Every structure is written in structure tokens, then in C-alpha cells.
Amino acid sequence: MAGVRLEHVFKKYPGSDKASVSDFNLDIQDKEFLVLVGPSGCGKSTTLRMIAGLEEISEGKLYIGDRVVNDVAPKDRDIAMVFQSYALYPHMNVYQNMAFGLKLRKFRKDEIDRRVREAARTLEIEHLLDRKPKALSGGQRQRVALGRAIVREPQVFLMDEPLSNLDAKLRTQMRANISKLMKRLETTCIYVTHDQTEAMTMGDRIVVMKDGFIQQSATPEVLYNHPVNLFVAGFIGAPAMNFLTGQLVEEGGSVRFRATGVNVVIPEGKAQLLRSKGYIGREVIVGVRPEDIHEEPVFIEASPNSIINASIEVSENLGHEMFLYLNGLGKDNVIARVDGRSGLHEGQNVKLAIDMNKIHVFDKDSELNVFEAE
Amino acid sequence: MVQIHQPPPFYLYMQHQHHEPLAQLVEHLTFNQGVEGSSPSWLTTIHIEADEQTSVFLYLYEILHNYTENSCSYSNIRNVVQYTQKLRPSKGNAMQKSQWQQLEQLLGDGVTARTITVDQWEHDGGNRRPEPGDRMKLDTGIRFVTRTVGSELHVLETDKELTALEQELIRLLLQQRNGKTSGGATELERQARRLGEWIGQNAASGDWRMEVPDGMELRSRLFDGMIPFLLLREQAEEKEPSYGELDKAIRSFMSEDTLLIPLRDHEWLILSPDRLLAEAEAAEEDVLEGHERKAMLSSLGSGLLQMVSGEWGGECHVAVGDPIDPVESAVQTVGVLRETIQLGRKFHVGMQVHLPWLIHLERLLSGIPEASRIRFVEETMGRPDMFNDLETVSTLDAFFAMDCNVSETAKKLFIHRNTLLYRLDKIKQETGLDVRSFNDAVLVRILLLLYKVTKRK
């Protein structure tokens, strides 16, 4: 097993004046499950393809273990890849698909057989070994693709959106399967996804990317609770964090945040920090997660300084929870996540309260989180 | 004393008319110097690690000098060895300037490069069907073939006196540079290259109806019902697999009777029996319908692409066509598949498996003069700058790829159906074209294709 290190890695395509991946620095620990996440075109797949050796590295160094592998062919990097388009070999049965990579590397027949059968047992596809890919369901094909990677017993697994072709139910199931499998195999895994649920549930650590740059690299908890900038705050979490643009003012010894339909008091601990950083009197962006807007009477009663009034434009009841799309707060809809049994409905005017201890304040120009900045 | 500063490991190739001395030499080297050597044969291969080189050189010189009865000078051995090492990764056909300089240095002054015809070579007394590495004596000096291009030969001539050993070493170097293995090209490779050259010439000349001539050795291995794949790899030469490596992997992947035919640098034609299609069927009694066969050909192309790029990396493109009789239509197929890759790369950046039956519209549009294209886009679409927006382009691409199916497109784009409808409505508002109606969809698809190539220029 081995860690992976990227030092000042750049990827620039010929004819393009902008780098697809810029100054990428990352140290991935041995046995770590690292997730690269970001919107389409952020450079996450390009980064993975560089690690795989499918793309040349324009600048910088890539280490697998202690070895610089910039110029090493994919087959000699001791990695195994699983892609969204898993492209099983259609003319080979499942056994042959899994065995092919080993056969090419001249493994002994009995060793190939041992590995294939062991991987098939792990993935519960032993009964499919004689079948051709055409006779398999999407989930089964995905498991074969995983099996093809597992039999290699690589130092590092690379997965690029491996679950994207599956339906929602199967995706949830496979997500758990892959997590369990990687823990069992104790192998380093680098996993690319656009799906933040996958990222949050699978990764030991998540790297959020945008425009070829790393925005933040942290554990799921840290990313969710301490996003360093507006982009990360908005990208992680579903529904996304609400953003309200308004002004911070000092009034009667406390700091207030004022925006359209909002006039709330900032808790003193946060207020002191805002004062010391000179934000009083300035426009800022306040971020509030949907679950930090409460409808419970007890909470509202206990939070007289953070009450907001709004009308419900749309309500989506998922049973155990309900999303309220609120009008009258800031420029866009504000979404609140409340109890599914709250009995609230569309068109209703509601009184809600914000948990001000959980809010984030972002600098309007730099978009950095004021509370997380050094 | 020879000064060698941390050179990488290299291979030394030696050839001698007498087997015995070299066998002894290898024994000496492997036993006394701890280097890896092949079992003694008429051609000897020795792998020497970098830090061993200086001492091995001296030792080699001493022994070789004795075995060749003083006919080989030390400096020449050293140069040839270094040259071998530098040429080894290069499989390109064009002789690079640095390599040329090295060869000049190796042979001293008086080396000239020329292009002659095969007829002239034979007329001057050279062997029939000359290959890179072949040589002939001149009145003053010697002539080597460095490259063959159809009926043309690239040769180098030197007026220097070379020993038999030096001549053999240069022959081996030139063979190597043309992609030969240590033991020289296999017969199959030589035949495949000859066929590839013939196909390439005819495809380039536009004479696509030419049949593979009877004199072509590989003709007997071509049969009706072979699936043609065109593989294009773009990668630094030193990372390219040798013919032998690639051939082995591809035969292992497809079938033993698959043929790998090198066409030009980084481009190969692969001909595989069409029974692969039957093998891909889940049940033996199934018969492939037309669309199923095409889907299967596409899957085979994707599998091939994944296998090759997974092993050797680099940017790969694969085009695959319907099964053919290569004797009759190899040239035409290469022409069509080349065009397919070219159009696929032009109109669908990011796509790596290209299918001729999916680019009819692109073929048609590529023939329209640029000025007409620009005018059409400007006149038909009020706001061509809409296509500058990546989100709009990816939405439309996905929408057309999913046959204008809203649910499937939303799924492919990982967005909510309503979000997709909102985006499509926005396009309608800004351009006046509703892609959910057939006529407008056709128009937008054409506009999008035209805009992509126009913008890229």
C-alpha cells in the first residue's frame, strides 16, 4: 500500500491559455479514502487521470509511495481504475474480464484463479462468472468493473464517478458496499464525484475543487461546519446554504445584521470578531444552513433576537422533513428544513428563528469566511 | 579513461561471425561483473546497470579487442554502445537532428544522407526489397538504408572504412530505430509494416478502390468478415509500446488471429475476426440485429481504448467500422476511419471512440466553406454568443445525445427535470428556437456543430 503526493502539479492543454489544474498540492495518506469533488469542469477528473497516467502532467511532481511516477506508464504505476463508463470487455465473460489484466501481466493461472474467485466472493458475483456483460444488470456490471480492479491488488484505487450510471437506490447500496470494501482492503483510494452526498458519506477527507484550484481539503465535518469560502459553503450541503447580502451595524451595544426582511442580532462572540476585523458598517454575505432556521415555538421563544417573518411560496414534504421555500427574505428564496409533521403549508405566513450561533459571515469581495480566516 | 556521468542502464548488442568468442564473453561478464546477460547466441544482449558501465567498458574493450583480433577500436565500441542506448526509445521514422549528429560523430566526417529509389538501390547492386539496416558496398565506402518510404529509400553513405563488426552494429541500430526488437523484426512485424505502408500510400493518394496485391505476404491472413479498428495514440515516443508489446496485448485482448498493422507514426489498423461479435452475445442462439451489432462494435471499441490507455496512457482515439473483407476494402476502410477520427475530434472534443455511422451530419457540415458557416450561424441564430456558455452547450449536447428525451437528459446531467426545462425555456426565449420541436431541434443541432468548429478556429 502507498500514499500519493502531488507537488505543484499543473495541467495545461495545448492551445489553451488557462490551466485546467493549477498548483495542485496534496498529500494523500496510505489507506486514506480521499474524495475529489466539485462542479463539472473543475479539474477533478483531470487530476485523477494525471494520477492514473492517462494525462501527461504539464508541471510538478507526482509521487506514488516514494517514487516519482510522472514518466511511468499506467501499467507500471501499481494502480487500478474504475470509471463511470466501465467498458467491460463485451466478448469476454465475467471471469475473463476480471482475469484479463493479470493474464496480460503473465500471472500464473492458479494465482489468477485464486484472485478472481476471491474478488467475486467479496463482491457476491460468483454466480455470474460465466456470464457475458450483455446479460448483466447495471449494478452487476459495476461490480464486475470493481472486481477487475480488485484482482490487481493495487497500491492505489482510482475511481471516477463509478456510480453515476446506476439508479438512485442502487447507488446508495453500492456506495455503502464500496466504503466497506475499501476499509476491508485497507488500500488508498482516490474517488472523484460530483455528488456531495457520495463525498460526505464515503470520504475520510474531501477536496473541494473549482476552476482547477483546491478550495478546501478537510474532513466532511469540517467542510460542512467550517467552510473556508462562499463556494465551499454553497457547494457542500443539500439543500444548499442560504446566502443573504446585507449590512452589519452596531446598535445599542450589539451588532445587528440587516437585509431585506431580516434584522437579527449577531451573538457577542462572533460580534467581537467582526468588530476586530473592521466589518461593522460594511456589506457582508451571511450564510445560514436550511436546518438552522427553526419553526419550533420553544426555539422561537428562546431566540427573540433572531426572528424572521416570511411567506411560504412552496413546501416540499418528504415525510420525515419538509423544505420550505420562503419569500420576503433577501433577493432569492430562502430554504428552511423543518419537521415533516410541522403542518406548515404553501401560502402561509410564518414566524421562524435563525440559530445565530451557526451562521457564517463571508467577506463580500474576497468571499472568504470571516470566522475561518487566519 | 572513459568519463561517463551517471548514464542510465543500457543494452549492448553484439554480433560476431563466430559464436564461441561471444559466448565466452557473456560468461565472463555475467560471472565476473555481475551484469545480466542473455544465454550465448549469435546475437548477444547484455544489460548493464549505470554504475557498472565504466568498469564493464574497460573489461569489454579488453576482451572484445582480443576476440575480434584488434579489428575493433575502443572508441568505436563506446560510441556505438552509447548510440544504442540513445536510439533505443526512439521508434519514429524521421531521423532526429541530435541522432544524426551522434551518428556523424560515431562515423566521423564524410557521412551524407540521401534519398534514392529502390530501383537505383538494386541497380547499384543492393539486395532486393531493402529494409532499414541493409547495406551495400560503394566504390568508396558503404551505404546503409535508414528508412523506406514506398519506392523511396532514405540512405546514408560514408566513405569511412568500417569493420564487419561496426557494420553489423550500425545495421542493428538502424533496425532498432525503426521499431525492431533486439532480435530484429519478427517476420510478422515486417510483413505487417509492408502492408501498412502499402495501405497508407494508397489511402493518402485517394485511390481507395485498390485491392491488396497478391504479392503482399499478409494477404493470405486476411479474410472476409474482419472488424477494422483504427487506433491513434498521441504520446511521447519514449512511452510508446513496441510493435511486439502492442501486438501481444491486442491478440490477447481480442483473438490470436487478430492482425496489428502499423500505418504511420502512432497509428495502427487492427483487423479482428467478426466472431468477436458472436462471442459478445449473451446466448449463443441470439442473432445480432443491425443496431445491436453497432452497439457491440462500439463496446468493443471502448474496451480496446480502455485496455490500451490503461496500459500505456496517452491520448488515444479509436474508430471502429462494420466488418469488411480487407483484401477488397482495407484502403477504403482506413480512409473512412481516419476521416471519422478527424471529424470526431473536430466536432466532439473529449470523445475518444468514434463511429462512422454517427458522424454523417458532421461529414456534410465539414464540407461547407467557413465563410458560409459563419454567415449561416449569424443569420439563423439571433444570439450565437449563447453557445459561449458551457452550461448551455453541455445541456444541448446531452439533450441531443439522449434523443431529446427530457427525463433521460436530466438524469445524464444529474439535474432535476424542472431545471432542465427551465434551461430549455431560457434557450427558447433568447433564440426563438424551441429544441423540443423537431424542426427547431434539427436547426439548433446544426448551429451548435457549426458554432463549435467555427469558434475553435
Tens digits of residue pLDDT in B354-401: 999 999 999 999 888 888 888 888 888 766 677 777 788 889 989 998
Q: Which residue has the higher pLDDT, A88 or B127?
A: A88
Is residue B349 within 8 angstroms of chain A, CB to CB?
A: no
Residue A281 pLDDT > 60, yes or no?
yes
Nearest to B296 among A90, A103, A194 (CB): A90
Report the CATH superfamily, name and number, of domain B368-456: PucR C-terminal helix-turn-helix domain (1.10.10.2840)
The secondary structure of residue A128, as a DSSP letter, is G
CA angle A32, A38, A39 (to 5 degrees): 155
CB atoms closer than 10 angstroms to residue A348: 12
- A92–chain B nearest CA distance, Å: 7
Chain B residues with CB-CB distance to A73 below 8 A: 239, 311-313
Q: Which of B245, B270, B281 to probe the A interface (max A CBs under 10 A)?
A: B281
Q: Say what the pLDDT of residue B110 is.
A: 67
Residue A56 pLDDT > 80, yes or no?
yes
Helix and strand element counts for chain B (H, E): 17, 12
Residues 191-250 of A with CB under 8 A from B: 194-195
Same domain flag for A171 and A265: no
Residue B405 pLDDT > 80, yes or no?
yes
CB contact under 8 A, A103 and B252: yes
Task: Tell me the three cell numbers of residue B442.
Answer: 434539427
User: Binning pLDDT at 50, 70 and 90, where does residue A293 land?
Assistant: very high
Least confident of A51-60, A332-341, B25-34: B25-34
Task: Examine residue A80 and state whether it is found in any structural domain, yes or no.
Answer: yes
Chain B residues with CB-CB distance to A56 below 8 A: 235-236, 314
Domain covering B216-361 in this structure, CATH number: 3.30.70.270
Is residue A103 within 8 angstroms of chain B, CB to CB?
A: yes
What CATH number does residue A328 fall under?
2.40.50.140
Contacts of B236 (CB under 8 A, 6+ apart): A56, B314
What CATH number does residue A225 fall under?
3.40.50.300
Same domain flag for A16 and A128: yes
> Which of A183, A215, A235 is the C-terminal boundary of a domain?
A235
Closest CA to A46 of A21, A14, A13: A21
CB contact under 8 A, B300 and A91: yes
CB contact under 8 A, B281 and A134: yes
Task: State the pairing for strand pair B152-158/B142-149.
Answer: antiparallel
Q: Say what the pLDDT of residue B237 is.
A: 61
Contacts of B3 (CB under 8 A, 6+ apart): none
Chain A residues with CB-CB distance to B281 below 8 A: 132, 134
Residue B26 pLDDT > 60, yes or no?
no
Which amino acid makes up residue B174?
Answer: L
Q: Say what the pLDDT of residue A282 is.
A: 96
Interval A107-131: pLDDT, tens: 999 999 999 999 999 899 999 999 9
Q: Say what the pLDDT of residue B44 is.
A: 41
Same domain flag for A185 and A78: yes
Same domain flag for A68 and A159: yes
Task: State the pairing for strand pair B315-320/B353-354.
Answer: parallel
CA distance B442 to B164: 70
Residues 41-70 of A with CB under 8 A from B: 41, 52-56
Q: Using a pLDDT cut of 70, give the percent of chain B over it.
A: 69
Same domain flag for A142 and A275: no
Q: Say what the pLDDT of residue A306 is.
A: 95
CB contact under 8 A, B279 and A135: no
User: Binning pLDDT at 50, 70 and 90, where does residue A213 land?
Assistant: very high
Q: How buried is residue A127: exposed, middle or buried, by Cβ count under 10 Å (0-12/13-18/19+)? A: exposed
> Which of A190, A208, A235 is the C-terminal boundary of a domain?
A235
ipTM for the complex shown: 0.79
Task: Tell me the three cell numbers of residue B184.
Answer: 530484429
Task: Examine residue A9 and state whether it is found in any structural domain, yes or no.
Answer: yes
Domain boundary assignment for chain B = 10-87, 216-361, 368-456
Residue B246 pLDDT > 60, yes or no?
yes
Closest CA to B396 of B447, B361, B362: B447
Residue A352 pLDDT > 90, yes or no?
yes
User: Binning pLDDT at 50, 70 and 90, where does residue B27 land?
Assistant: low
- B310–chain A nearest CA distance, Å: 6
To which H or E segment does residue A274 belong? helix A268-276
Domain span holding position A292: 242-363
Residue with grid cell 473549482, as numbered in its chain: A210
Residue B276 pLDDT > 80, yes or no?
yes
Nearest to A194 among B253, B312, B414 (CB): B414
Closest CA in chain B for residue A99: B253
Nearest to A54 among B254, B280, B309 (CB): B309
Task: Examine residue A374 and state whether it is found in any structural domain, yes or no.
Answer: no
Chain A residues with CB-CB distance to B346 below 8 A: none
User: What average pLDDT does this structure show over B55-62?
Assistant: 52
Helix (H, G, I), strand (E, B) or coil at B445: helix
Q: Which residue has the higher pLDDT, B118 or A254?
A: A254
Helix (H, G, I), strand (E, B) or coil at B457: coil
Is residue B279 within 8 angstroms of chain A, CB to CB?
A: yes
CB contact under 8 A, B282 and A131: yes
Is residue A323 within 8 angstroms of chain B, CB to CB?
A: no
Interval A157-170: pLDDT, tens: 999 999 887 888 88
Give the pTM.
Answer: 0.72
Is residue A39 within 8 angstroms of chain B, CB to CB?
A: no
| Mean pLDDT comparison of A12-16, A85-89, A201-205, highest-scoring range | A201-205
- B167–chain A nearest CA distance, Å: 34
To which H or E segment does residue A192 belong? strand A188-193
User: What average pLDDT does this structure show over A223-245?
Assistant: 95
Is residue A349 within 8 angstroms of chain B, CB to CB?
A: no
| Mean pLDDT comparison of A11-15, A351-355, B383-387, highest-scoring range | A351-355
CB contact under 8 A, B252 and A100: yes
Is residue A134 within 8 angstroms of chain B, CB to CB?
A: yes
User: Binning pLDDT at 50, 70 and 90, where does residue B75 land?
Assistant: very low
Q: Say what the pLDDT of residue B144 is.
A: 87
The secondary structure of residue A303, as a DSSP letter, is -
Is residue B119 within 8 angstroms of chain A, CB to CB?
A: no
Q: Which of A84, A134, A158, A169 to probe the B interface (max B CBs under 10 A)?
A: A134
Q: What is the dihedral of CA A25, B239, A98, A121, to 10 degrees?
A: -30
Same domain flag for A63 and A32: yes
